[in-house]
Homo-oligomer: A and B are copies of this chain.
Amino acid sequence: MKVINKKGAITVPRGFKAAGVHCGIKGKRTLDVALIFSEKKARAAAVFTTNKVKAWPVLIGQKHLLAPFHRAIIVNSGNANCSNGVKNKEKVKKICQLLARLLNIKGYEIFPSSTGVIGRDFPHKKVTSCIPLLIKKLSRTKGHEAAQAILTTDTKTKEATVSFSIGGKTATLSVMAKGAGMLHPNMATMLIFMTTDVNISKQLLKEALKIVTTRTFNMINVDNDMSTNDTLLILANGAAGNICIKKKGKDFFHFLKALGMISYYIAKEIVRDGEGVTKVCEIHIQGAHNTDQAKQAARALADSMLFKTALHGADPNWGRIVAALGAQKKLKCDFTGLTIMVGRYPVLKKGKPYSHNLKNARAELKKKEVHFTIDLACGKAYADCITSDLTKKYIEINAKYTT
């Protein structure tokens, strides 16, 4: 089982078609609407934003999720369709109605999704007028265009595929994603769409997605807060022909492994393509009281502007780590036995500075991928998270996003 960075990934699993077109929300003929279609009825599971302010397509998607089967996902970039008055909710319904009629499916079998600027009227006529073209273009080879159409400040598409065998059948799981602009996605949108031909019950699909999200997308997701539009959605259409996975046996765990691998891969790709990011940093916390405490410690660093800038400057300023951890009121730890390792070099070991390692630590920090291991010496629990450096380019991109 291996994750392959594959263009057009979303249409690799059997029975899925996709298309991406330019409908005019964005300028310069940029692709801005994507459609994913399953030829067979698919079971769906989703994780939506926990933000109290939710975009209209998210509110409608939450309702549609209650249906037993689904057939399509329509996504636009360039407008978040959020905080812009209730009349814009009706526009989403109109899009679903038209799409349903032309595809000969039900409106509730469709997931609408949007990303872009908040607070602007949604130009739904641009979308509806290009729906016939979108449907016409639906193809087993247009997955890459769909992946392009959902991007905002991303510099490239994020696509991947993993194949695995289940009950003697070969199954495939694919993903297309758009990045959160920054590490801390409580104010940037992360859209992740997955397709798989595995045959699995809706309940177990939901459980698998939840388990994996906690360990991957939520660990690049400081504070567990999300934007107004964040959506992680998976469609499983059963075209692989395996016997339906209905219990947590070998097949389930095989699927879970594939889902976990592809999710970790995409989570890291999202961080790597974050706004202005030049390096990715994996933080492993160990020796914590319990898992929650380990996660809290990991996030304290992942969220620290000083940690992220020091990472950028390859500065082994471990005092910032001590200060950031010590500032966490809920962290039950006295930090006297703290160990901090950059790569395999301890710069602080059981509370004692290892100054002779600073040169090696600096060399590690200059790499494109940096690994920190931090032992709190308070217990046996651990957690991992992924963060990025904070750069001037980030400021440049974000200082003038709407203008």
A-to-B contact residues, CB < 8 Å = 50-54, 80, 82-85, 117-120, 181-182, 184, 186-188, 223, 225-228, 304-306, 309-310, 312-313, 315-320, 322-329, 331, 333-335, 348, 351-353, 362, 390-392, 394-396, 398-403
Total copies of the chain? 2
Is B85 a contact partner of A305 (Cβ separation < 8 A)?
no
Name the CB-closest residue of B to A82: B319
The verdict on A118 contacting B329 (CB below 8 Å), with A315-B400, A353-B84, A399-B315 known, is no
Chain B residues within an 8 Å CB radius of A119:
318-319, 322, 348, 353
CA distance A54 to B326 in the complex (A): 8
Chain B residues within an 8 Å CB radius of A228:
319, 322-323, 326
Please tell me which one of the listed residues B227, B309, B318, B328 contacts residue A398 in the complex, with CB atoms under 8 A apart: B309
The verdict on A400 contacting B313 (CB below 8 Å), with A84-B353, A319-B83, A323-B228 known, is yes
Is B398 a contact partner of A310 (Cβ separation < 8 A)?
yes
Is A329 a contact partner of B395 (Cβ separation < 8 A)?
no
Is A118 a contact partner of B323 (Cβ separation < 8 A)?
yes
Is A313 a contact partner of B398 (Cβ separation < 8 A)?
yes
18 new A-B contacts, CB < 8 A, other than A310-B398, A392-B395, are A52-B329, A52-B333, A53-B335, A85-B351, A85-B353, A117-B317, A118-B319, A118-B322, A119-B322, A184-B305, A186-B327, A228-B323, A309-B394, A310-B399, A313-B398, A315-B403, A319-B402, A390-B395
The verdict on A327 contacting B51 (CB below 8 Å), with A353-B119, A400-B315 known, is yes
Is A323 a contact partner of B186 (Cβ separation < 8 A)?
yes
CA distance A401 to B316 in the complex (A): 10
Secondary structure of the A contact surface, majority rule = loop
The verdict on A80 contacting B400 (CB below 8 Å), with A52-B333, A188-B306, A326-B52 known, is no
Say how far A192's CB is from chain B's closest CB, in angstroms.
18
Name the CB-closest residue of B to A389: B399
The verdict on A80 contacting B315 (CB below 8 Å), with A182-B305, A182-B306, A391-B395 known, is no
CA distance A81 to B402 in the complex (A): 45
Chain B residues within an 8 Å CB radius of A333:
52
CA distance A333 to B51 in the complex (A): 12
Is B319 a contact partner of A80 (Cβ separation < 8 A)?
yes
Say how far A74's CB is from chain B's closest CB, in angstroms.
22
Say how far A402's CB is from chain B's closest CB, in angstroms.
4
CA distance A223 to B353 in the complex (A): 29
Please tell me which one of the listed residues B80, B223, B312 contacts residue A399 in the complex, with CB atoms under 8 A apart: B312
CA distance A312 to B403 in the complex (A): 13
